[in-house]
Amino acid sequence: MKQPDYAAYARFYDYFELAGCEESEELNIFLDELFRMNSIKTVVDFACGTGAQAVGLARSGYKVTAADLSAEMLKIARKKATGLPVKFVTADMRVAELGCHDAAICIFNAIGHLTREECADFFVRARNHLNPQGVFVADILNFKAMSGKAFAQYRRMRREAIIDGLLVQHVRNCTLLKESRQLKIESLTRSQDGKNTPREIRDDWQMQLYDSDEFYTLLKSAGFSEINFFGPVGCEFDSETSDSILAICQK
């Protein structure tokens, strides 16, 4: 599956994807409550990006192993985690061997970068990374909701920020490919340094989406025993209208 060029996008990621960070912070509070209830001490984050969950969880006292495919994303995460108990690893979740943990997470649609077959294999791999009774948490955009009203807010996104003294604009257009259940994304990131000619980065990628039945089947086939769905940041899940599916599964 074609991915965004995270090497080029890493320096903009926090400004355009985690802007304000409220959602990440709310999710970290939800994960902390869930993990406390399940006596979780160690966590592996399979696609940590710039550390939105890994750093937050380490601050709450968990021992975190944080992996990502992109060295540039990890570089930013490492900086944020200075002094915290996080072990960073450059690893591909499709083949990673990171030892056993009390919990495993893969957040913010990172699973959408995998094909359906890769996702099915990854769920088995994630389960194998868990200690007995371990908890797996993964989220993905909900294809059913995206086929309805939820798509309107994703169709076109426009953000701008001052980054390292430069005005940077990020524009994104999304198309829903109903047959393949994929989201096609085209983006333009434009940075303006004074009166110089603006620098433009164009990118495009696709993400695999799932409805809750399909997601449930993949998780069940991987061997998870208890599978519960929540909506974004842990609110109640509605299979037709919740933008995303947050799956909480037990080994």
Ligand X SMILES: C[S@@+](CC[C@H](N)C(=O)[O-])C[C@H]1O[C@@H](n2cnc3c(N)ncnc32)[C@H](O)[C@@H]1O
Binding residues vs ligand X (CB under 6 A) = 3, 6, 47-49, 52-53, 68-70, 73, 92-94, 107-110, 113
Minimum CB–partner distance for residue 199 and ligand X (Å): 22
> How does DSSP classify residue 232?
G
Do residues 206 and 186 lie in contact, with contact meaning Cβ atoms separated by under 8 Å?
Answer: no
Report the residue number, 26 or 192, with the smaller CB distance to ligand X: 26
d(CA 175, CA 204): 11
- Residue closer to ligand X by CB (options 93, 150) is 93
Cβ atoms of 109 and 213 closer than 8 Å? no
* CB of 2 vs ligand X, minimal distance in Å: 11
Closest contact distance (angstroms) between CB of 10 and ligand X is 8
Cα dist from 203 to 9, 62, 113, 175, 185, whole Å: 10, 36, 15, 14, 8
Cβ distance to ligand X smaller for residue 53 or 208: 53
To ligand X, the closest distance from the beta carbon of 108 in angstroms equals 3
Residues 134 and 102: their CA atoms lie apart, in Å, by 5
C-beta of 196: minimal distance to ligand X in Å?
30
C-alpha torsion angle, residues 60, 61, 62, 68 (rounded to 10): 60
Tell me whether residue 53 or residue 189 sits nearer to ligand X (CB atom).
53
DSSP3 helix / strand / coil % (the chain, rounded to 5): 35, 35, 30
Give the C-alpha separation, 11 to 249, whole Å.
33
When the beta carbons of 18 and 167 are compared against ligand X, the nearer one is: 18
**Residue with Cβ nearer ligand X (124 or 198):** 124
Each as own residue / partner, the long-range contacts of residues 12-15 (CB below 8 Å, 24 or more positions apart, any chain) are 12/161, 12/163, 12/168, 12/170, 12/189, 13/49, 13/50, 13/73, 13/76, 14/50, 14/76, 15/159, 15/161, 15/163, 15/168
11 or 113, CB closer to ligand X? Answer: 113
